[in-house]
Every structure is written in C-alpha cells, then in structure tokens.
Amino acid sequence: MKLSRRCFLAFSIGGAAGTALSPLPWKLTDDLSIWSQNWPWTPVPPDGEYAYINTTCTLCPGHCGIRVRKVDERAVKIEGQESSGMNPGGICLLGLSGLQLLYGPTRIQAPLKRVGERGENRWQTISWEEAIEEVAGRLNDLRSKGQPQAVAALASEDTGTVPQLMKRLLTAVGSPNFYRMPSMEDSQAAVLALTQGEEGFVGMDVEQADFVLSFGSALLEGYGASPRMMQAVNRLRADGGKLAQIDSRLSNTAAKSDIWLAPKPGTEADVALSIAHVLITRNRYDHGFVSQWAEGFEAFSAMVAEKYAPEKIADRTGLATDQIISTAIAFADAKHPLAVYGKGKGQQPGSLKEALAVNALNALAGSINRPGGIQAMAGYDYIQWPALQPDDVAAAGLQTPRLDQKGDVVYPNPGYKVHRMIEAVGAGSADLQALLVAESNPCYSLPGADKVRTAFSKIPFVVSFSSFMDETAMQSDLILPNPIYLERYEDVPVKAGTTRRRVGLCRPVVAPLHNTQHVGDTIIQIAHAMEGSVAAAFPWTDYATCLKETLSDAWETLLEKGHWEVPETTHAAGADGFKTASGKFVLMNETIGAIYLADAPLPAGDESEYPLQLVAYDTIRLSSQYVGSSPFMLKILSDTTLKGQAGFVELNPETAAKLNLKEGASATITTPAGSADVRVHLDEGIRPGIVAMARGLGHTAYDGFLAGKGVNVNQLIAPVEDPASGLDAAWGSWAKLAKG
Amino acid sequence: MSSNEKHQTDGRTGDAHASSPSDPRSGPYILLFFILGLALSMVVGWSIFPKLLYSQKSQPIDFNHKLHLEQVDNGCQSCHFFREDGSFSGSPRLAQCTDCHAELLGESENEKIFVEHYVATDREVPWLVYSRQPDCVFFSHSAHVFGAKMDCETCHGPIGKSESLKPYEENRITGLSRDIWGRNIAGFKQNTWDRMKMDDCAQCHAQHDTLHDSSVQTGRDACFVCHK
C-alpha cells in the first residue's frame, strides 16, 4: 500500500468529521470564551462582605463627607455622602479616585533617610525610633545653641489637632515660625477682621443667593467644597437666578454664566469699585443696611466717585462702560445678590484690595450676615489644651520676630507669608536651620517653584511627613511618612466658605498598608524625646488619646455620625451689631482707605520685553496642591491641555496670528521666572494678549503616571507681594512666546 | 510558455497515477483512511481531550460535611450563611471556623493540619470552590433560597452527606471546576446538580414558569439579569 495524497485527504476529512462529532470543538469554544474573561488585566470586583464607612476627604480644603465601599478588607469605591451637610451625594474627580492614591505606587512605605544628594532620590530605610531620635537630636542642638526660633513648620491647614500639635511643638521648642500654605483664607480673614472685627472665617450662603457675581472664582471647577458649589450653582440656575463671571478666560464657570466680563487680569478691584460707583450714583444700594450698619459710607462714596466711574476705568480694565453698568444693575435688581472673590479654586490669597472691594459690594447690597449673603463664622475653639510653660530657651526664641515679618505693609495682619521665608533662605539667610513639612508640597505648588527648590537646598535640615514621594519629599533629609486619609483618624474642621460650622471625622477605612505612623504620634514622640520643657507640653501618650480628650463629648457624635455640627458659641454679627469699635460694618476707615490707595499687585517684568500676560487657571480635572492628580484624572484631560508629554497654552487666534503660531504649534514661553517648551491651543474664549496655562501639570516627582507630563506653571510665575497685605498675590506673569 | 508545457505534463502524469479515483484499487484505502481519521479523532475528542483538559488538585485539607452537619443546628446555613444585607457568604472564612476550632477539638489529622497551618498562623484556607462560576455570572442565593424556597441540594447535590472532599478537577483553560460543565463531557446529566451551565439555569426557569419579562425585545429575562 502506498500512502497517496488522496489517502491523506481522506484521513483529514475523517479526522475533521470525527472531531465535529466529538465534544472537543464545542467544549473548547465554550472554555475559550470563559478564558477571555479571565485575562489578568480585566478588573474584577473582589467577592466578600460589603461594608460602607462614612469618613471625611482631606484631599482639598473642601473636606467633603465621603462614603467608602469595602468588600472585606479592600476599599473598592469612594462616593459622596448623602447625609453630609456639605456635599450631599456629590464628589469631585480627585475624591472619586482617592483609591488610586491609597493603592498606588508612589506611597512612601517606611521612614527614609537621605543617602545621596538632595533630590537624587537615594534613600535608606530606617526605624521609627532612629527617625524620631534624629529629629529630636537636631531640635535639641538648635535649642542648646540658643536658636530655637530657627525651626519652622509648614502645614496645609492651621486648624484641627494635627496642625495645632505641630504649632505647639514649635512653641514648646521656642519658635514662632509655624506657617500654613497660602490660601484665600488669608485674605478672607483679613477682610473679616477689618470690616466686621470678627476673628473667624467667611461663610458664603450660595444656596440662598439669587445672583452670584464671581470675581474669577472657579465655582464649577473646584472652588471651596467643589460638589457643594456645583450643586449650589445648579440650584441657582434652576431657580431662575443668575451667575455673572468676571474672568479673562472663558472658563467652564464663565461658559455657564449668564453674564461674562473679561477684564484685563489684575484689574478686578477696579471693576468691583466701579460697580460700587454705579450702585451708589444710581441710588441702587441697600439704604437700610448702609444707614443703620455701615461706617465710612461717605468716604467710600467719595473715593469711588473720584476714581472709579465706569468710563474712567474703561481703558485700564478693557471693559466697555455699559458692560459694567448693566452688570451692576443686574446685581442691584436681585433680592439676594452675593459677590465672591478668590481666584480659581481659592488656593491663592490674591489681592487684599480686591477682596475688600468685592466685599464692599456685598455690604452695599445689604448681603452681610443674612440669608444668601456673606456670613461671619466664628472660628473653631474646641481645642482647649493646657497653657504652655515655655522654659527660658523657648521664651527667648518666642520673642524673636517671625521670619515673614520683615518688610512693611499697609495691613500687617499675621497671615502666612511663606514666600518671604523662602526668599530669605534663598538669599542666604541662616535664620532657618530646620523645616518640618506636613501635607504640603511647596517645592511644586508655590509660585517660583524652582526658587523654592533652590531655597530648600540651603536649609540644613528638612523633614517631610509626606505620604507620597513628591517634589518636597525629594528635597528632604528625612521622610517620616504619614498614613493617608483613608488609613487614619483626624478631626477636620471645615471652612472653605461653609455657612455651617462643622467638624468632619477622618477615620481609617483600611488598616495602614505600609510602615507609616500618624504625624500626630510622630510629633508627640519627637516632643517626648526632647529635653527641657518640651516633653511636658505633650501630656498625651499618643495621638488617639489626644484626639479623644480634645473632642471630649463631641467624640461620640463624631464616631456615630462621621461629623459634628459645632454649635455657635458667639452670635454672628447682625442685629446685635458688629464686633468693630463702632459696632458697625466698616466700609471705609483709615486702614481700609490706605489699602484702597495701595498699588495693585502686579508681576515684575518689562512689558516691552514681555508683551503677553501669562495667567494660571484651575481646572477640576487637575489637582495642584499637596496631592498630585490621580492617573484617572490624567486620563480625562482634554487633548488641548495635555497630549502625550506636551503641555498646552491657550491663546487667542488674534494673538497667535501676530506671533505666526498655528493650532498645535510648538513654542517656547519665557517669563522673568523661567522658560518652558509648550504647544499652542487657539481659543477665541481667551482675551487677546493673554496666555493661559493650567495648574497641576509638570511634576518631576511621583510616578510615571504624573511625572514629566506638561509644564508646571509655578515655574514660570514669580511670587508677587501684595503691597496692602504682604501676602503672595501672584495670578500670573509677564511673558513672551516664540516659535519653538 | 514553459509553464503551460509543465502543466500539461503534470496532467498526463496524473492520469497515469495508481490512485486515480477511476482506479478501482484505491477505493478501499481511501475509505480506510477516512475511518481511521474519524476513529482517531473520536478517541481524541471523547477520551484523550477531557483527560488533558482537566488537572486534578486536592483541597488544602479534607473536610467532613456529614460530621459537621450533625453537630450544627441550622443545617447548611450554619456555616454557609446569609449576611444581614441578604448577600451569601459562600465558603466559610477562618474567623467562622475558629469560633469552634480555636484549639484542637478532636483527633483527626485534618483538623490538626487546619489548626497548625491556618488557625495558628491566621491564614485563610485556600478552598477550591467547586461551584465557582465565571466572574460575569451574577447569581443571587437569596432569590433562590428564600424567594423560590429551593433547597441547597437541587444545585449543589448531596454534598452535605459526604465524608470527604472529592478531588478538584480544574479546567486548564478556564480555571473553573469540572462540576460546572459536568462530569459527562457530552453534557448529559441525570441529576439537577450534575452541571450548572446557562442552559441548566434556563431549563429550570422554563420548567417552573419563572420567566420574567425584563427584556422589551424578547419578553423574557434580559441578559443582564444574570450577566453583569
């Protein structure tokens, strides 16, 4: 028998027929379809017992109530808390993707000591005992040299037990140099103190307003507690109310507003005072409030009459006279008008003159301490610790002036002028020998980020409590990692424009994933390891005890509800008068008059060399403070903000034509602070002559999801000191753009 | 031109080939090879393939369902319980077992392994679950046990009467147990619990007239009732 081709074919056909008559192909098809669902990169929710934990988000000052869904010990989803008074059911993109921060690769997993050069990212893992001993040793050294004031601390907040423990450590050591990162809160506190004599924070009753006039506040892009603000603006529009946005760029908030004015950046105070002029000259202000409660109305009227008639400021602001008049009339027509300030997300203090001018509009409309208006909120006073008994070294150190108090300003309110401390160190001052940094990333998020980094390299000892390997942690000598907000207890007093005094409880959703230690415990342990009277200032064995004792009766409420509505201890000013000397709301007095006379804080630079203005803008899709954007947020950025590794600037087509730049073109942007390669996106929603760039890109630290993408706008912006308050009021810079 | 010539030459050679269909001698061979192919592939498909498809694994420790069932008050639900929210707990976790087995209770070798390897080291027992379905299958035990008042045996068989755990036959492609497709590779079954594929769900639902009309298009159960 000879094997022929036909025999082979017959064998094959027989084989095929036999296979078809066997279960093999059918079973294989079925199995392969199931196999295709088992690919390891397909996300599959774990199976187990579901649980929901109510806690508080600390990723931004909004401090929303959140609800975390767990399956067994794994956190699987973060939602907005329905029962939260702040953000009923709402959550922002960063809050939503918090689990990527929890389980992500940039967590610092144990205490680290720098081995290589600063910023080289070479570390050695050390024990907590060694870490505490080293910090305590360095602080003891400074005290023994009689330089306790050379220790400073920088935190993201100044209320709540953790920032207060840090401040107490400094006070016990003998240093007045506790700082909070710059914020709109600084200007708000100054305005409140100047006009109402109140030490507290500003509440904005957006929920009951029927006309909101926003001076560059990104109400729909992360201002205050962003879900609350979005819900309030949606409610406003659904009820027939109106939103007016004053913004040189057609932001999302501007796009959804009823009135949009695009003045030249930096002239917002002039616009506000010009609106005041219209209200007064047309007799459209609240006579009842002004006659009964306002002090200095005549002087204020005289000032606006002299300098702020709409036609007089038209050139300076770039707005048409009738635009200002019609906006002022719309504001006056409303029953509950509300004017708000704080540019972008409110993460910069801004100009004090502008804040006062905008607040004056609220006073003229009578929208002070009434529904739909600005509310003076008493500060939180639940932290009542025993008074400190500083020893001689500490007492001497506390007598020295703070590092940011060098330099004159019209209104030297305390505030936190972090840029002055950085400038002093950068200029070679030896007044700062040790810096403790908690929950903040100054080397990335302060204007003049490059200079901040250089200044950090001159500080002999930097300790970071960061949970992530961020730009500031990279510049540290020691990293003592804090567990992130989903792994720890903390009291979180809410400000961020809320009209309800509320302390949220941040509580562990999962057990700490890494060898981290609560910063509160770390501070207490450092203090206990120190000499002199420092240890005695911390009578608690650990942070948990301190927290429970501090909150005393409220602790049970916090555990049960997840938040505590703090009863008003002081009556908000109104029917019983204001807390000022005259008992009235101060529209104008000597100090306020001097502030109105001060120059607008303008960036340094020569307009002939730098013909454009760079404006940094905030977007809800990027985080620009301590916590970097999550991978999820970068995925949803538009191609005109970030494409691949390239960051974009937005430019009016008219400006682009003059510079011969087309959509998508590569260009180099140069400012007095630095330069960067960018690509150009043309948009008619930008005022001609302006270059807009998003905050939150251009990280050099973190991981491959975030590092090296786009440009950090803070590198291109230098701090601009407000002549009125001394706070950093930088909103942008002079700039030039050339084909790259 | 040369290729045409070659073609013709080939054609002539073909005509003269010994196994031409016109050649009566080649017929039986072709049939033989056809049958050979058919038989071999049937052997592969029906016998060798199932053996290759499944690997045998033993459970981390053996478990006596019968013995445990005699000791507890609430039948299967004593260990395989429903949580407060109505979800089903499935295989017991270590914490449940340690309610009774914090220390050795008897003299069984398996219990000793369990206490030493898992209880003492606080490790979960990596049970191999015979009834695990693919991730896309959504199944509510509550709806069936409380809603339809079904007993466990209808789907899981008389496992409560077993004294030891059978080997886990793992499908090398899907990672699931052989019990889902059933012992019989052709898919025939004698008992309701012999296999647990989609058709088996559908069969029972059709028999008991429990078709819902959640799909507008078909007037029957929508795909997403079970496939989530």
The CA distance from A41 to the nearest CA of chain B, in Å, is 13
Q: How many residues does chain B have?
A: 228
Percent of chain A with pLDDT over 90: 84
> What percentage of chain A has pLDDT greater than the value 70?
99
Q: How far does A564 lie from chain B, in Å, by closest CA?
A: 28
Asked whether the beta carbons of A87 and A440 are under 8 A apart, the reply is: no
Question: Whose CA is closest to A219, among A60, A88, A344?
Answer: A344
Which residue in A6, A11, A12 is closest to B26 by CB distance? A6
Binary contact (B33, A47; C-beta < 8 A): no
Alpha-carbon span A450 to A428, nearest angstrom? 16
Instruction: Name the DSSP class of A249.
Output: B
Q: What's the rounded mean pLDDT across residues B120-130?
A: 94
User: What's the rounded Cα separation, in Å, for the pair A680 and A657?
Assistant: 12
Q: Looking at the complex, report in whole angstroms how far the Cα of residue A128 sits from the nearest Cα belonging to chain B.
A: 26
Instruction: Tell if the CB–CB gap between B45 and A21 is shorter than 8 Å.
Output: yes
Give the range among A150-159, A417-426, B4-13 with minimum mean pLDDT.
Answer: B4-13
**Look-up of token digits 């059911």:** A89
Average pLDDT for chain A: 93
CB-CB neighbors (< 8 A) of B41 in chain A: 14-19, 22
pLDDT at B74 over 70: yes
pLDDT of residue B1: 39
pLDDT at residue A571 greater than cutoff 50: no
Q: CB distance A23–B176 less than 8 Å? A: no
CB-closest option in A12, A16, A31 to B174: A31
Q: How many CA atoms lie within 13 A of A644 on its CB side?
A: 4
Q: Which residues of B touch A19 (CB under 8 A)?
A: 41, 44-45
What is the nearest CA distance from B36 to chain A, expressed in angstroms?
6
Whether B45 sits inside 8 A of A16 (CB atoms) is: no
Sign for the pseudo-dihedral over CA of B184, B188, B191, B194 = positive
Predicted pLDDT at B16: 43
State the Cα–Cα distance between residues A271 and B84, nearest whole angstrom. Answer: 60
* Spatial CB neighbours of B151, under 8 Å, sequence gap ≥ 6: none
Name the closest residue on chain A to residue B40, using Cα atoms.
A15
Residue among B45, B53, B176 whose CB faces A19 most closely? B45
Cβ–Cβ gap B39/A18 under 8 Å = yes
The pair of structure tokens assigned to A37 is 């669902």
For the segment A239-273, what is each residue's pLDDT rounded down to a tens digit?
Answer: 999 999 999 999 999 999 999 999 999 999 999 99
SS (H, E, C) A262-328: CCCCCCHHHHHHHHHHHHHHCCCCCHHHHHHHEECHHHHHHHHHHHCCHHHHHHHHCCCHHHHHHHH
Mark out the alpha helices in A580-738 (DSSP H runs): 590-597, 631-635, 653-659
Q: By C-alpha distance, which of A627, A497, A560 is closest to A87?
A: A497
Of A4, A22, A37, the CB nearest to B46: A22
Please state, in angstroms and rounded to a whole number, the distance separating the CA atoms of residues A685 and A740.
24
Instruction: Specify the pLDDT at position A569.
Output: 54
Q: What is the mean pLDDT of chain B?
A: 85
Of A1, A16, A31, the CB nearest to B171: A31
Taking residues A297-303, report their average pLDDT. Answer: 96
A79–chain B nearest CA distance, Å: 19
Choice among A595-599, A685-689, B155-159, B223-227 with the minimum mean pLDDT: B223-227
CA distance B87 to chain A (A): 8
Closest-CA residue to A446 (of A475, A468, A467): A475
Read off the pLDDT of each residue in B11-37 and give the average, rounded to a whole number. Answer: 65
| Residue A37: partners with Cβ closer than 8 Å, 6 or more residues away | B134, B135, B136
Residue range A454-467: mean pLDDT, rounded: 96
Residue A453 identity: R
pLDDT in tens, B132-178: 998 888 899 999 999 889 999 999 999 999 999 999 999 999 999 99
Mean predicted confidence (pLDDT) in A57-73: 93
Q: Which residues on chain B are in Cβ contact (under 8 Å) with A13?
A: 34, 37
List of chain A residues whose C-beta atoms are within 8 Å of the C-beta of residue B134: 34, 37-38
Which pLDDT score is estimated for B120?
92
**Is residue A674 within 8 Å of A711, Cβ to Cβ?**
no
Q: Which residue has the higher pLDDT, B208 or A364?
A: A364
Whole-angstrom Cα distance, residue B221 to residue B206? Answer: 11
Phi first, then psi, for residue A212 (nearest 5°) are -115, 120
* Average of per-residue pLDDT across A377-384: 92
Q: A148 pLDDT exceeds 80? A: yes
Q: Residue B106: its pLDDT value, please?
A: 85
Res. B102: pLDDT tops 80: yes
Backbone angles phi, psi at B50, to 5 degrees: -60, -35
Q: In what order do the strands lie in the sheet with A65-71?
A: A50-56, A65-71, A74-80
| CA-closest candidate to residue A213, choices A187, A237, A244 | A244
Closest CA to A251 of A238, A241, A265: A265
Supply φ then ψ for residue A297, to 5 degrees.
-60, -40
Give the per-residue pLDDT at A573.
Answer: 47
Q: What pLDDT was estimated at residue A696?
A: 95
CB A675 within 8 A of CB A706: no
Candidates A50, A51, A52, A56; CA nearest to A562 is A56
What are the backbone dihedrals phi and psi of residue A737, each rounded to the nearest 5 degrees, phi first? -130, 130
Q: What angle do CA A377, A382, A388 make, to 5 degrees?
A: 120
ipTM given for this complex:
0.84
Q: For residue A424, which amino acid is it?
A: A
Q: Are B171 and B178 in contact (CB under 8 A)?
A: yes
Q: Which chain B residue lies closest to A38 (C-alpha atoms)?
A: B174
Contact B45 A34 (CB under 8 A): no
Mention every residue, 6+ apart, whose C-beta is less than 8 A from residue A414.
none
User: Which tens digits make up the pLDDT trace of A693-719?
Assistant: 999 999 999 888 899 999 999 999 999
Chain A CA closest to residue B174: A35
Q: Which residues of B touch A70 (CB under 8 A)?
A: none
Task: Please give the average per-residue pLDDT across A604-627, as a whole number.
Answer: 92
> If you write DSSP's letter for every residue of B80-132 in order, what string do you get?
SPBPTTS-B--SPPHHHHHHHHTS--S--HHHHHIIIIIITTT-------TTP
Q: Which residues pair with A665 in a beta bridge?
A: none
Residues A170, A398 contacting (CB under 8 angstroms): no
Using CB atoms, pick whichever of B19, B37, B87 lies closest to residue A15.
B37
- Quote the CA–CA distance of A129 and A264 in Å, as a whole number: 55
Distance CA A663, CA A660 (A): 10
For A215-229, how does the pLDDT look when each residue is reduced to its tens digit (9 = 90+)? Answer: 999 999 999 999 999
Q: Where does A465-609 show beta strands of DSSP type E?
A: 478-479, 490-494, 502-506, 563-565, 585-586
Q: Do A23 and B90 touch (CB under 8 A)?
A: no
| pLDDT reported for residue A143 | 95
pLDDT of residue A533: 85
Confidence of residue A144 (pLDDT cuts 50, 70, 90): very high
Identity of the residue in A12, A42, A49 whose CB atom sits nearest the CB atom of B37: A12
Please say whether the dihedral angle defined by the alpha carbons of residues A488, A493, A496 and A498, taken in this order, is positive or negative: positive
The B-side interface with A (CB below 8 A) comprises 17-19, 21, 26, 29-31, 33-42, 44-46, 49-50, 53, 83, 85, 87, 89-90, 134-136, 171, 173-176, 181, 185-187, 197
Contact A218, A251 (CB under 8 A): yes
Our separate counts of H helices and E strands in chain A read 26, 28
In this prediction, residues B24-42 reach a mean pLDDT of: 85
Lowest mean per-residue pLDDT among A39-53, A359-373, A424-438, A467-481: A39-53
From chain A, the residues in CB contact with B80 under 8 A are none
Chosen for mutation from A27, A36, A70 (greatest number of chain B CBs closer than 10 Å) is: A27
Return d(Cα A517, Cα A346) in angstroms, integer: 31
Q: Which residues of A touch B (CB under 8 A)?
A: 1-2, 4-8, 10-19, 21-24, 27-28, 30-32, 34-35, 37-38, 42, 44, 47, 49-50
Contacts of A12 in chain B (CB under 8 A): 37
Global pTM value: 0.86
Lowest mean pLDDT segment, chosen from B91-100, B161-170, B197-206:
B197-206
CB nearest B38 (choices: A14, A47, A49): A14
CB contact under 8 A, A35 and B34: no
Could A18 and B31 be called an inter-chain contact, meaning their C-beta atoms sit closer than 8 Å? no
Contact between chains at B37 and A10 (C-beta distance less than 8 A) = yes
Q: Which residues of A touch B186 (CB under 8 A)?
A: 23
Of A15, A23, A30, the CB nearest to B40: A15
Q: In a mutagenesis test of the A interface, which of B17, B32, B42, B140 is the best target, namely the one with the most A β-carbons within 10 Å?
A: B42
CA distance A246 to A319: 11
Q: Which of B19, B136, B186 sits opposite A4 (nearest CB)?
A: B19
Which site among B22, B31, B38, B40 would you substitute to test the A interface, given the most A Cβ atoms closer than 10 Å to its Cβ? B38
Residue B217 has pLDDT above 80, yes or no: no
Residue B215 corresponds to which amino acid? S
* A&B contacts, CB < 8 Å: 114
Question: Are A82 and A62 a contacting pair, CB within 8 Å?
Answer: no
pLDDT of B18 strictly over 60: no
Distance CA B28, CA B33 (A): 9
Asked whether the beta carbons of residue B134 and residue A37 sit closer than 8 angstroms, the reply is yes
Contact B131, B196 (CB under 8 A): yes
Half-sphere exposure of A305 (CA within 13 A, CB side): 10
DSSP run (H or E) holding B170: strand B168-171
Residue with tokens 């001018």: A357
Distance CA A470, CA A462 (A): 14
Nearest CA in chain A to B181: A27
Identify the band that residue B6 occupies on the pLDDT scale cut at 50, 70 and 90: very low
**CA A707 vs CA A102, A109, B154: distances in Å:** 18, 19, 56
User: Among partner residues A11, A42, A50, which is closest to B37 by beta-carbon distance?
Assistant: A11
Inter-residue contact A526 to A111 (CB < 8 Å): no
The rounded distance, in Å, linking the Cα atoms of A286 and A366 is: 5
